[in-house]
Amino acid sequence: MTYKNIISAILSVSLIIILSSCNSQSIDNTAQESEIDLFAMDTYMSLKAYGTTGETALQKASDKIKALETTLSVTNEESEIFRLNSAGGKKTEISSDTAFLIERSLEINKETNGAFDITLYPVTKEWGFTTGSYKIPSQARIDELLANVGSDNILLDTDGNYVSLKNEANIDLGGIAKGYAGSCAEDIIKAEGVTSAILNMGGNVQTIGTKPDGSSWKVGIQDPSDSTQLVGTVEVADKAVVTSGGYERYFEDELGNIYWHILDPKTGYSAKTDIISVTVIGSDGTTCDALSTSLFVMGTEKSVDYLKTYRNHDAVIVSNDNTLYITKGIINEFKASNEFSGYKIITI
Ligand code: AMP
Ligand code: MG
């Protein structure tokens, strides 16, 4: 993680805290507040829960997030994904967490016509996005690596949780893992009887129930060009709010060209469309995470078609022509910040 990313992560965590404290008069003061801060999955996370079982719930949730990080990391040699990527195509036993994520990733790959593809890893690695040792690969190298990209190289046997990767394919669950960690944490926290919690995991926010006083959570959407500012806020209850944008991880060449970490599987280059950032809101954090990455690759027009077809997700898209595209389902819950009040809003 770069110094800039660390600062931006700290700032985005602080923004959420500021938003919660602005509303502190309305929080039920009788509800006991617990908080755990941790660094996992390359992100500063702040987990907050209300009520007497909150502390135990957060401890269990934090343990699960750390365990998932160890299982799913693409760079940690001890991880299941590392073992699978090094198996030379052999059938490998995997945990039910990994099997579920691969299965969901394959479904989303189909739904998004290939925009979401976990087999892009060899290309992402070549650009240095997973290690921070950035470089611009030659076109020949990209073409060579793209030849082995494609979700049909993943043979998943969910009966016994086995998988094999054909044609030297390698996978990376970086576009979906944090959302899944949020969903698992949500289940664990609810099972402890907590009805009010908010998990800020960088660009992923998972809300559980409502605020202790029964009102909605107010979640800030980060301004893609200034991590201290917001595009606006959305009021949600029991939903995940997941944002993807090029600003999260990128590097610049000597000519000032910017390359970011979300790649278009068709080209092997950073996905460049009219979208600057996209926030997906829905009940399932895992899907919201995969979709925020996918819609960023697809651009506004295809994203609008997708959202209209599947209708079970809301979104706020910031496009490069000073327009916010917002789904009907969330439009009344969205409030633009002063900086974005001049933007045109198109309801989709
Ligand atoms: P997110 O921050 O959730 O949008 O995820 C970005 C991460 O997903 C990147 O750092 C890569 O690890 C991975 N990734 C990049 N492009 C894609 C893609 N087109 N499909 C699936 N995963 C991707
Ligand atoms: Mg994602």
Q: Which atom of ligand 1 is nearest to the CA of 297?
A: 19
Is residue 164 one of the residues assigned to a domain? Answer: yes
Is residue 266 one of the residues assigned to a domain? Answer: no
Ligand nearest to the CA of 271: 1
Is residue 149 one of the residues assigned to a domain? Answer: yes
Model confidence, pTM: 0.92
Tokens (6 digits) for 256 = 């000032």
Mean pLDDT of 222-226: 94
Is residue 132 one of the residues assigned to a domain? Answer: yes
Mean pLDDT of 289-309: 97
Q: What is the band of 243 on the pLDDT scale with cuts at 50, 70, 90?
A: very high
CA distance 147 to 145: 5
Q: What's the one-letter identity of residue 198?
A: I
The 10s digit of each residue's pLDDT in 24-80 is 444 455 689 999 999 999 999 999 999 999 999 999 999 999 999 999 999 999 999
For residue 50, the number of C-alpha atoms closer than 13 Å in the C-beta half-sphere is: 18
Q: Which atom of ligand 1 is nearest to the CA of 292?
A: 4
Q: From the CA atom positions of the chain, what is the Rg in Å?
A: 20
CB 234 within 8 A of CB 333: yes
Q: Residue 95's domain spans which residues?
A: 72-175
Mean pLDDT of 104-109: 97
Is residue 199 one of the residues assigned to a domain? Answer: no
Residue 159: CATH number of its domain: 1.10.3980.10
Is residue 128 one of the residues assigned to a domain? Answer: yes
Ligand nearest to the CA of 72: 1
Query: For the chain, what is the domain count?
Result: 1
Is residue 225 one of the residues assigned to a domain? Answer: no
* Ligand 1 pocket, mutate which of 73, 126, 262 (most atoms under 8 A from CB): 262
Is residue 147 one of the residues assigned to a domain? Answer: yes
C-beta atoms surrounding 154 within 10 Å: 21
- Ligand 1 site residues (CB inside 6 A) read 115-118, 120, 124, 129, 172, 174-175, 244, 248, 261-263, 265, 289, 292-293, 297
